[in-house]
Amino acid sequence: MCGIIGYTGSRNAAEILINGLEKLEYRGYDSAGIAVFDGDKLNVCKEKGRLENLKILLKKHPVNGNSGIGHTRWATHGAPSKINSHPHTSMNGKISVVHNGIIENYREIKVFLEENGYKFISDTDTEVVPNLIDFYYEGDFLCAVKKAVKQLNGSYALGIICSENKDELIAVRKDSPLIIGIGENENFIASDIPAILSETKKVYFLNDNEFAVLTSSKITVTDFDNNIIEKEIHEVSFSETDAQKGGYEHFMLKEIHEQPKAVNDTLRGRLNSDLNLLLDFINKEFLTTVNKIYIIACGTAYHAGLVGKTVIEKLAKIPVFAELASEFRYNNPLVDKNTLVIAVSQSGETADTLAGVRLAKTMGAKILSISNVVGSTLTRESDYVFYTYAGPEISVASTKAYTTQLTALYLFAVYLAETKNTVLSSELDIVKKDLLSMPKTIENVLKLEEKIKLISNKIFNEKDMYYLGRGLDYAVAMEGSLKLKEISYIHSEAYAGGELKHGPIALIEDNTVVIAISTNKNLSSKMESNIKEVATRGAYTIAFVNEDTNCIHSLCDEIVVLPAKCTLLTPISTVVPLQLLAYYVAKNKGYDIDKPRNLAKSVTVE
């Protein structure tokens, strides 16, 4: 959610910081600011609202100087305002800080500092940090930072500068991502790779409680005890243009269209055309001891987990519990050393998912993470990692992350079934073949775009829409409904077809939009009854069916026939038109599709 960038070198720092913050806009924010040393003077410029406001301010009052820090804030402690935005500076103007995360014990630190004469001007937890560093400062910047950080509870990624050490930028993190970008006679810090991708592709991933001191020519990383830590340089494999819109009006549309390639990238090197699985990322001996699986995740990733549950149970014959990561911890999960916990997270930084993983680890479980972000906190805390390789997903509304998470879960289910020998290999071969043809299937489904656009023109003014499905279609309905509400702000719910009569049918009146997903020929007669039930009560029905679904054309106001057949993999292709529908409904409404209100790309606080 919040974004950090920092720079030290010989170029105009303000320009580099603003440029970096622009690349982080997709994370969602409500205010922005920078602090730059201009000669002896520390210039702090902040504004509420869009980065554009800060840019206008900087045009009026240009800031020179070659080192500084920048931040986009998403309010947690204190309302969105100029005063609460970052950077925050110590009372005497010496230390300036940008912070992602939450300082849980900030109240007691504040009292302690107030007793020592410090005064505060914001409502934030962050403001205690520069003042605490100042309290400990006796001429050694790093030493003061370490003493202060020792006193902090909670999560933090910090970028810190000090007016008495103008050429130094200090970075430290705990439970919040932070990377170091390595340049030529200049160095960077950032909360996310896109922020610095136009400047360098060489990065260090900072671990918890590692302190990096950056000057233009040197980066030194130490621990609390001043031991030097040798970091491994990672070469970022995606280009800056990969992180741009590539000709599409929105990142979301671009990412919807990237799905054939993204799914292919997830499969690449893992399943070959001879139908051999090339997976060796998990200890086979351990797998044979696993007697229960939990899948924990949030939002879209959770919806992927719901499909994963059904598929793993069907193929590998192991009980699987798909749980919202935010609930998992509070439900007394029955986890032990024979439990595998699969944590699904695009960003690998979602606070609830990480908390669930940490709990499961203390109970003896092994963790397999399915993530898109190499080096993310989740992947570093997991025993086994399965990267989806979907490429950067910028749109807040997740699309290609979902289809690649599904692909990863299918691959894992097949791998587990093969390892445990639970189904005939001929049955697994069918799933493998379907996986290999999925990129082509998605390409064909994307050809429905014009039709979906026309449907969206008819329904975009509705206040409520309901999604119905059975079996795997129900899980997909949940994802379709989430997409719609996230970006079009239309109230929407997904119901299992069989539940309709148990309550939701009371909501149906003339012209209520009901989107029925019926891709499974074995369940289509039951869906047919559900469509009839809502149609006779006046609903405007839109059905999404496969080409081999029994025909329900005459019953529906709109019918979309997907160029796909009913298989275990149907969810991957079915979700695509639902993503397009949400996109075009939101576009008709003229909303900010890539940055929907109140939402952030990764939710790094509870």
User: What is the dihedral sign for C-alpha 534, 538, 539, 542?
Assistant: positive
Strand order across the 464-469 sheet = 491-496, 464-469, 513-518, 540-546, 558-562
Among 215, 347, 403, 574, binds ligand AGP (CB under 6 A): 347
Minimum CB separation from ligand AGP for residue 434, in Å? 25
Pairing, β 211-214 against β 169-174: antiparallel
Which residue in 60, 6, 9 sits closest to 35, CA to CA?
Answer: 6
Q: In terms of CB distance, is 347 or 519 closer to ligand AGP?
A: 347
Residue span binding ligand AGP (CB under 6 A) among the ranges 180-188, 239-247, 257-265, 347-355:
347-355
Tell me: does residue 396 bind ligand AGP (CB under 6 A): yes
Tell me: does residue 397 bind ligand AGP (CB under 6 A): yes
Q: What is the 3-class SS of 489-551, one letter each residue? A: CCEEEEEEHHHHHHCHHHHCCCCCEEEEEECCCCCHHHHHHHHHHHHCCCCEEEEEEECCCCC
Q: How far is CA 127 from the centre of its chain?
A: 27
Q: In terms of CB distance, is 395 or 570 closer to ligand AGP?
A: 395
Q: Which residue number is nearest to ligand AGP in terms of Cβ?
A: 299
| DSSP structural state of residue 480 | H
- Burial string for 423-450 (b: 16+ CB within 10 Å, else e) reads beeeebeebbebbeebbebbbebbebbe
Among 326, 350, 379, 382, binds ligand AGP (CB under 6 A): 350
Q: Which two tokens stand for residue 113?
A: 């500092």
d(CA 173, CA 171): 7
d(CA 592, CA 602): 18
Q: Assign 590 to helix, strand or coil.
A: coil
Per-residue contact track with ligand AGP, 433 to 472, x per CB under 6 A? Answer: ----------------------------------------
Among 72, 326, 602, 604, binds ligand AGP (CB under 6 A): 602
| 143 is annotated as an active-site residue | no
Which residue in 61, 57, 137 sits closest to 95, CA to CA?
Answer: 137
Catalytic residue among 2, 45, 162, 298: 2
Minimum CB separation from ligand AGP for residue 369, in Å? 10
Q: Which residues on neighbouring strands pair with residue 228, listed in sequence order?
A: 222
Q: In terms of CB distance, is 142 or 465 closer to ligand AGP?
A: 465
Q: In terms of CB distance, is 231 or 309 closer to ligand AGP?
A: 309
Q: In terms of CB distance, is 128 or 475 closer to ligand AGP?
A: 475
Q: Assign 193 to helix, strand or coil.
A: helix
Which residue in 33, 232, 191, 193 sits closest to 124, CA to CA?
Answer: 33
Minimum CB separation from ligand AGP for residue 357, in Å? 11
Per-residue contact track with ligand AGP, 276 to 305, x per CB under 6 A? Answer: ----------------------xxxx----
Minimum CB separation from ligand AGP for residue 395, in Å? 8
Minimum CB separation from ligand AGP for residue 295, in Å? 12
Q: In terms of CB distance, is 36 or 354 closer to ligand AGP?
A: 354
Q: Which two tokens stand for residue 171?
A: 């970075």
Catalytic residue among 46, 146, 309, 601: 601
Tell me: does residue 403 bind ligand AGP (CB under 6 A): no
- DSSP H or E stretch at residue 292: strand 292-297
| Binding residues for ligand AGP restricted to 482-541, rule: CB under 6 A | 486
| 551 is annotated as an active-site residue | no
Tell me: does residue 43 bind ligand AGP (CB under 6 A): no
Q: In terms of CB distance, is 30 or 479 closer to ligand AGP?
A: 479
Among 72, 259, 345, 530, binds ligand AGP (CB under 6 A): 345
Minimum CB separation from ligand AGP for residue 256, in Å? 12
Q: In terms of CB distance, is 497 or 596 closer to ligand AGP?
A: 596
* Full DSSP string of 375-420: T-HHHHH-SEEEE-------SSS-SHHHHHHHHHHHHHHHHHHHHH
Residue span binding ligand AGP (CB under 6 A) among the ranges 202-210, 262-270, 342-350, 362-370:
342-350
Tell me: does residue 603 bind ligand AGP (CB under 6 A): yes
Angle (nearest 5°) at CA 44 between 39 and 49: 150
Q: In terms of CB distance, is 300 or 520 closer to ligand AGP?
A: 300
d(CA 158, CA 169): 10
| Binding residues for ligand AGP restricted to 146-205, rule: CB under 6 A | none
Residues labelled catalytic:
2, 601
Q: Binding residues for ligand AGP, per CB under 6 A?
A: 298-301, 345-347, 350, 353, 396-398, 486, 599, 602-603
